[in-house]
Amino acid sequence: MLLRMTALAALAVGLFGLAGGPAVGQDKKDPKEVSKLKPEEQAKVKKALGEMQDFIGQWNLEGTQKDGAKIIAWKEKVSWGWNFKGDPSFTADFNEGKGKYYTGGSLKYDLEKKLYVLSLTNADKTEQVFEGKAAKDGGLKLERKDAKTGDVYRLTLNTLSEGDKFQVKFEKQDGGKGLFNNVFAMNGLKEGAGGVGVKKPECIVSGGAANIAVSFNGKTYYVCCTGCRDEFNANPKKYAK
């Protein structure tokens, strides 16, 4: 992986819901999941997403958020995986579609804008879209602006400890001016994390750290997510080579 993150994924907090206006960078891809990109363009998209490979897997996260003098805390399992239907992308699942604030999401890469695009689906089925670039110190830094209030929402995603830990930071800039104020943070470990220095199997499809076993012709291989598992099962000879 080209970028080792400073250690995704839950992106959960109700204050996202306050930013209800049209979001920047709405995805206008073909809903039938048929790629319109040329093979070389698909390769570039996959490479860009591959730089965020450490996001892939299941994370056991704890969120914290201030409510006056109180600190609200919650736990949530978030899973990220590859999606190879249509243009390559990541999918996100929050507590099997029953997350505290979000049910799911997707991370794509816009070749024309050279930006990462993260779409999140609220429990009320509305969608919020964030855009941004890879942060200089690793991970992603994404933003969206509320068209009505001018408020800007910033979401920073990082991995730490060789990809075993995940951090989420959500901030708000009132009216799009001045300093960003902290809204919430989320931290946690990857399911089955073995600790720093422990060598992990490599995903035969995407090249990331893997912990799901698959087999072909009596030989065992490993993949990092259900998306890569499905891709391997559909083309086992291609990847077994």
**Domains assigned to the chain:** 14-190 (2.40.128.20), 199-241 (no CATH)
The pLDDT, as a whole number, for residue 149 is 95
Q: Where are the alpha helices (DSSP H) in 2-54?
A: 39-50
pLDDT at 13 over 70: no
What is the chain's length? 241
Residue type at 115 in one-letter notation: L
Q: Average pLDDT of 66-94? A: 91
Q: Return the closest-CA partner of residue 62 out of 135, 108, 12, 129.
A: 12
| Pairing of β 70-83 and β 89-94 | antiparallel
pTM of the predicted structure, to 2 decimals: 0.78
> With bands split at pLDDT 50, 70 and 90, how would you rate the model's confidence at 91?
very high
Question: For position 4, what pLDDT does the model report?
Answer: 38
Predicted pLDDT at 34: 64
CA 22/CA 150 separation, integer angstroms: 11
Residue 162 pLDDT more than 80? yes
For residue 54, name the pLDDT band (cuts at 50, 70, 90): very high
Q: Helical H runs in the chain?
A: 39-50, 226-234, 236-240
Whether the predicted pLDDT of 10 surpasses 70: no
44-79 residues labelled b (16+ CB within 10 A) or e (exposed)? bbbebbbbbbbbbbbbebebebeeeeeeeebebbbb
